[in-house]
Amino acid sequence: MTRMTLLALLLLSPSAGAASLTVFAAASLTDAFTEIGRAFDARTGHRTTFQFAGSQVLRAQLESGARADVFASANDAQFTPLLGRVVTSREVFARNRLTVIAPAGSAKVRSLRDLTGPGVRLVLAAPSVPVGEYTRRMLAAVDRSGTYGKDFAARALRNVVSEEGNVRQVALKVGLGEADAAVVYASDVTPTLKKTVRVVPLPTRFNQTAAYPLGVVRGSVSADAARAFVAFVKGREGQAILRRWGFLSP
Amino acid sequence: MRRAGLPWAGVLLGGLFAAFLLLPTLVLLSRGLGADFWGTLRSPAVLDALRVSLWTTGMTLLVTVVTGTPLAYLLARREFPGRALLDALLDLPVVLPPVVAGLGLLLTFGRGGLLVPGLELAGVSLAFSPAAVVLAQLFTAAPFYLRAAKAGFAAVDRDAEAAALTDGAGRWAAFRFITWPLAFPFLLEGLVLTWARALGEFGATILFAGSLQGRTRTVTLAIYGALDSELGPALVLSAVMVVVAFSVLLAVRMLAARRDRLDG
């Protein structure tokens, strides 16, 4: 191969002017964002890497100076406090709903009411985790309605055997059959998880809507690429991928 | 030509490295012991974590001594087929990454696990219980005791035991009054190391036992959990762990010194 062809290859390859992009994203976005990242990289030639974790963990890391270009959170509680100081923009790009899951092979939990059954092992996310916050709001809504008795939330919370650090850990506990029930996002019931879990009906009037904000991190060394990523997520292709993984439009 | 005086480059590099190894602990101590140490120490989250850790590591030590001592004795004293292989394999948990240990425990003792039919019949359900925390600690930490105890039993003078037996002592009495006291410094050192390892257990516990305040959330899990919201409890618990770790080091040093005196 001659030097000329090598040069031509270099110029034609998409890595010309490519940036390395680091995206901090909520654990529930793991599958959707991984696919979005691949599509975005193929389109732009950038190289996107992700760190998926509970939004509260990512927020703590960003606050203590972690380097990232984009932050996507699963709720506002872990995002708005950063606005202005750590993150320069805020756009809601997706919504999500809660769902109750139980192991496919177990009949212990068939309805929401069963969450308070004796000996039911319920796994939730910790209150600082976005899905943990939405879950407690959902339980409070059930309480207010009085449908299942006044102290439904308190009785359900007494059945909690573990408080996990992100929603995927919560889903895993049911997937493995260790827990009798858990509350996760509708989008967490991925084709993989569907093989081992069963969805328990959650009345719409109790359900909560999660709103996902994302923004460019202040001091990003590739701010242009970061803005392009945000636009891609909000664009037709990004939205289509999110929809495919069970998210709702913003 | 040899230069006299200090090797300055070596001193500089060595000093930097020593500072690197010591600085984080000092920072933890100063941050953790500062400000509101006693107030935070008395908060329910911190007290619960300390209580869970003390209880579970205590149980771990008890089970380790009761079941580990006979095993170590057999391995040190008896010839049986496959002994060398078993001896080597029992060290495996020491080098295994803790999260791998946790996955192994989950797949063996969890609800979908290998031993499930037996455990269900016995009415035992381990997942998310303090017993699961103990199992995780036992699996990752007990081999330290096994190693030390084996070394201890191997070091005991066989003539002294033989003399006791010819003097009419029973086998149990010979063990109780000759072997056990002579091996004791080794056993104690092994116990201290096992306790330190059990106290620091994280990976296997979080996977196998879950995390619930006052039940399965040990000190290490509480530190990790507290990092999400407010740093206070994490700093205080970390400072406590630094002090504990220092005491463990001191204890091991003193035990080793005593053992060496006995040997000499």
Give the tens place of pLDDT for each residue, B200-223.
999 889 888 888 888 899 999 999
Mean pLDDT is lowest, of B60-69, B118-127, B148-157, for B118-127
CB contact under 8 A, B128 and A178: yes
Please give the pLDDT value at position A136: 96
Q: What CATH number does the domain containing A106 carry? A: 3.40.190.10
User: Contact A165/B225, CB-based, under 8 Å?
Assistant: yes
List chain B domain ranges.
42-263
Q: Are strands A20-26 and A70-72 parallel, antiparallel or unpaired?
A: parallel
The per-residue pLDDT for A16 is 46
Query: Which residues from B are below 8 Å from A173, CB to CB?
Result: 210
Residue A28 annotated as lining a ligand binding site? yes
Predicted TM-score (pTM) of the model is: 0.80
3-state SS string for chain B? CCCCCCCHHHHHHHHHHHHHHHHHHHHHHHHHHCCCHHHHHCCHHHHHHHHHHHHHHHHHHHHHHHHHHHHHHHHHHCCCCCHHHHHHHCCHHHHCCHHHHHHHHHHHHCCCCCCHHHHHHCCCCCCCCHHHHHHHHHHHHHHHHHHHHHHHHHHCCHHHHHHHHHCCCCHHHHHHHHHHHHHHHHHHHHHHHHHHHHHHCCHHHHHHCCCCCCCCCCHHHHHHHHCCCCHHHHHHHHHHHHHHHHHHHHHHHHHHHHHHHHHC
* A11 inside domain: no
3-state secondary structure of A56: helix
Q: Does residue A58 belong to any structural domain of this protein?
A: yes
**Per-residue confidence (pLDDT) for residue B182, from 0 to 100:** 87
Q: What is d(CA B16, CA B19) in angstroms, rounded to the nearest whole number?
A: 5
CA distance A213 to chain B (A): 19
Range of the domain at A28: 17-95+211-244
Residue B3 banded pLDDT, cuts 50, 70, 90: low
Are residue A21 and residue A83 in the same domain, yes or no?
Answer: yes
Give residue B162's pLDDT. Answer: 85
Asked whether residue B107 carries a pLDDT value surpassing 70, the answer given is yes
Tell whether A43 is covered by a domain: yes
In the block, residue with structure tokens 């791998």? B100
Residue A232 belongs to a domain: yes
Nearest by CB to residue A126, choosing from B110, B112, B228, is: B228
Confidence of residue A7 (pLDDT cuts 50, 70, 90): low
Say whether both A201 and A219 belong to one domain: no
Residue B184 has pLDDT above 70, yes or no: yes
Task: Give the chain B residue nearest A164 (alpha carbons).
Answer: B211
Surface of B (24-83) touching A: CB under 8 A: none
Claim to verify: residue A74 and residue A113 sit in the same structural domain: no
Asked if residue B264 has pLDDT above 90, the reply is: no
Q: A188-218: per-residue pLDDT in tens? A: 999 999 999 999 989 999 999 999 999 999 9
> Half-sphere exposure of residue A50, counting CA atoms within 13 Å on the CB side?
22
Q: How many domains does chain A have?
A: 2
Let me know whether A66 and A104 are in one domain.
no
User: In this predicted model, which residue has the larger pLDDT, A3 or A241?
Assistant: A241
Q: Distance between CA atoms of B191 and B205, rounded to whole angstroms?
A: 20
**Cβ contact (<8 Å) for B227 and A54?**
no
- Tell me if the domain spanning B42-263 has CATH number 3.90.170.10: no
**ipTM computed for the complex:** 0.70
- The mean predicted confidence, pLDDT, of chain A is 91
> Is residue A148 part of an annotated ligand binding site?
no
Q: Express as a percent the part of chain B with pLDDT over 90.
A: 46
- Chain A interface residues (partner B, CB cutoff 8 A): 54, 56-57, 60, 121, 123, 126, 128-129, 160-165, 173, 176-179
Q: Do A56 and B210 touch (CB under 8 A)?
A: no
